[in-house]
């Protein structure tokens, strides 16, 4: 599978180049050029197949010529010490729990795979330096994934504010391979400095710099694997139609689902579940995309006004507008309905679901009713965040305390970065040079 920019039909680049450079120079995003149908590799799998087995089979069949089955097994072993969990709630509904990774968010899947596959692709080429701007818990997720990969040092660039959840023992001065740097400025300043460092040829070559941006295709690909996993767990004894409901902010998860479908997964539709930040719904219905000011809601990870994956989704619609309109159903859920969905899940199924999952559950119910799906369509709701991350909200809505897993309890611990700098390239490069 080769990759091209959403903005042009060429040049084509290898998976390795798309992962290591991650942004085409024309301002587009990397997408697979021709999609491989890999149905034959997963259709025989069933509920006895483990997630790791699935990934170790599917990844090399997608990346033929770049990732052989042995490499794929190594990557899988290294990346996934956690797995998705499919819970069948009733005839029409399942939950796909994607929150069992180190930070309790589905993003752990993409980050863990990216780190492990980068290590595999760069083997024997000395040590490389990965730069990443950190927001929320992605810094912790990256530190967890890259601290296992000895071919890398990871520079996490933080904006002003507390830095949380890192283990000082993993920092470079203490013998580890993580370099957390705080910039006196905003997240955008962090991103700018990273781009400047990448474009500073001499510096970038001296340290072998790459980046692990959120829109890296090496993070998108592994997200297709858990859709396939849900499918193989569910297909037995089930003849009806299948849909996925996806809580959507930057739309990475939804796009991964569309790729799983293109890889041959039989599925009838995707629900693009949004909160009040629903401008993308107009685009999905066939209108132009006009961004609107951000609204703060109770499902903050979906508070996005311009989705970073816009280019990728738009290229799907450009290729096959009618197919897409029959495939993706937009829904917008208010805070009030989000809260009642948390309550509903607790009362009906005795499960805690986080606010983002609640948006997807409410959207699934709304779409099923509007389209009269009852009894004919089985919907898999993607549970993207661990409910223990919102322990206060869970207690407030359900009246029940939730146990916080040990792995998540460290996320709030404050850490000192190894340096705090002004938002300037020379200060940034100085700190990095001092680590060698
Ligand atoms: C990031 C995130 C989302 C949104 O996913 P996108 O791929 O950006 O659409 C949903 N839920 C949780 C808990 C998240 O952290």
Ligand 1 atom 2: the closest Cα is on which residue?
A: 301
Angstrom distance (rounded) from CA 196 to CA 204 = 10
Say how many Å lie between the CA of residue 398 and the centre of ligand 1. 23
Residue (of 119, 224, 132, 141) closest to 179 by Cα position: 132
Angstrom distance (rounded) from CA 385 to CA 110 = 14
Let me know: does 123 contact 133? Beta carbons within 8 Å. Answer: no
Residues of the chain with pLDDT under 50: none
User: What pLDDT is stored for residue 226 in this prediction?
Assistant: 98
Angstrom distance (rounded) from CA 37 to CA 32 = 12
CA distances 327 to 88, 116, 233, 242, 401, Å, are 23, 33, 22, 11, 39
357 is written with which tokens? 């999952």
Taking the CB of residue 29, how many other CB atoms lie within 10 A of it? 24
Say how many Å lie between the CA of residue 218 and the centre of ligand 1. 17
**pTM of the predicted model as reported, rounded to 2 decimal places:** 0.95
Residue ranges of domains in the chain, CATH in brackets: 3-71+107-219 (3.40.50.1100), 84-105+223-408 (3.40.50.1100)
Say how many Å lie between the CA of residue 95 and the centre of ligand 1. 16
User: What pLDDT is stored for residue 68 in this prediction?
Assistant: 95
pLDDT, tens digit (0-9, with 9 covering 90-100), for 266-286: 999 999 999 999 999 999 999
Ligand 1 atom 3: the closest Cα is on which residue?
A: 301
User: What pLDDT is stored for residue 290 in this prediction?
Assistant: 93
User: What pLDDT is stored for residue 24 in this prediction?
Assistant: 86
Ligand 1 atom 13: the closest Cα is on which residue?
A: 385
Q: List % helix, strand, coil for the chain (3-state, nearest 5).
A: 45, 15, 40
Q: Cα(first)–Cα(last) distance of the chain, in Å?
A: 37
Helices first, then strands: H and E counts in the chain: 18, 15
* Residue ranges around ligand 1 (CB below 6 Å): 105, 107, 247-253, 301-302, 356, 384-385
Say how many Å lie between the CA of residue 304 and the centre of ligand 1. 10
Torsion of CA 227, 152, 140, 272, to 10 degrees: -30
Taking the CB of residue 418, how many other CB atoms lie within 10 A of it? 20
User: What pLDDT is stored for residue 180 in this prediction?
Assistant: 97
314 is written with which tokens? 């738009």
How many residues comprise the chain?
A: 436
User: What pLDDT is stored for residue 228 in this prediction?
Assistant: 97
């Amino acid at each position: 599978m080769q990759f091209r920019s959403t903005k042009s039909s060429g040049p084509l680049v290898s998976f390795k180049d798309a992962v290591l450079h991650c942004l085409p120079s024309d301002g587009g995003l990397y997408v697979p050029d021709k999609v491989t149908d890999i149905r034959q590799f997963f259709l025989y799998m069933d509920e006895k197949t483990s997630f790791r087995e699935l990934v170790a089979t599917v990844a090399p069949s997608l990346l033929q010529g770049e990732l052989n089955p042995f490499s794929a097994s190594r990557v899988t072993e290294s990346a996934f010490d956690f797995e998705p969990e499919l819970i069948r709630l009733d005839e029409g509904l399942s939950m796909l729990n994607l929150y069992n990774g180190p930070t309790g968010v589905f993003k752990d899947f993409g980050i863990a795979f990216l780190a492990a596959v980068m290590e595999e692709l760069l083997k024997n080429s000395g040590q490389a330096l990965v730069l990443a701007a950190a927001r929320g818990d992605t810094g912790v997720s990256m530190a967890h994934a890259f601290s296992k990969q000895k071919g890398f040092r990871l520079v996490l660039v933080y904006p002003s504010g507390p830095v949380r959840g890192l283990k000082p023992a993993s920092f470079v001065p203490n013998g580890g391979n993580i370099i957390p740097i705080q910039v006196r400025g905003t997240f955008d300043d962090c991103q700018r400095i990273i781009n400047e460092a990448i474009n500073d040829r001499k510096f970038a070559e001296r340290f072998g710099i790459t980046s692990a941006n959120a829109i890296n295709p090496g993070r998108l690909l592994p997200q297709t694997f858990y859709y396939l996993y849900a499918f193989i767990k569910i297909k037995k004894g089930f003849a009806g139609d299948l849909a996925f409901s996806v809580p959507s902010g930057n739309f990475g998860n939804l796009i991964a689902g569309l790729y799983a479908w293109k890889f041959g997964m039989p599925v009838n539709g995707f629900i693009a579940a949004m909160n009040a930040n629903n401008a993308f719904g107009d685009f999905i219905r066939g209108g132009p995309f006009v961004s609107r000011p951000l609204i703060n809601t109770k499902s903050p990870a979906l508070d996005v006004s311009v989705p970073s994956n816009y280019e990728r989704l738009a290229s799907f619609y450009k290729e096959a507008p009618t197919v897409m309109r029959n495939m993706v159903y937009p829904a917008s859920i208010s805070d009030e309905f989000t809260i009642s969905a948390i309550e509903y899940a607790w009362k009906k199924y005795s499960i805690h679901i986080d606010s983002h999952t609640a948006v997807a559950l409410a959207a699934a119910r709304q779409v099923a009713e509007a389209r009269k799906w009852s009894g004919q369509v089985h919907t898999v709701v993607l549970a993207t965040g661990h409910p223990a991350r919102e322990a206060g909200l869970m207690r407030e809505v359900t009246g029940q305390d939730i146990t916080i897993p040990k792995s998540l309890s460290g996320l709030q611990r404050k850490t000192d970065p190894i340096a705090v700098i002004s938002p300037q390239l020379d200060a940034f490069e100085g700190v990095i040079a001092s680590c060698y």
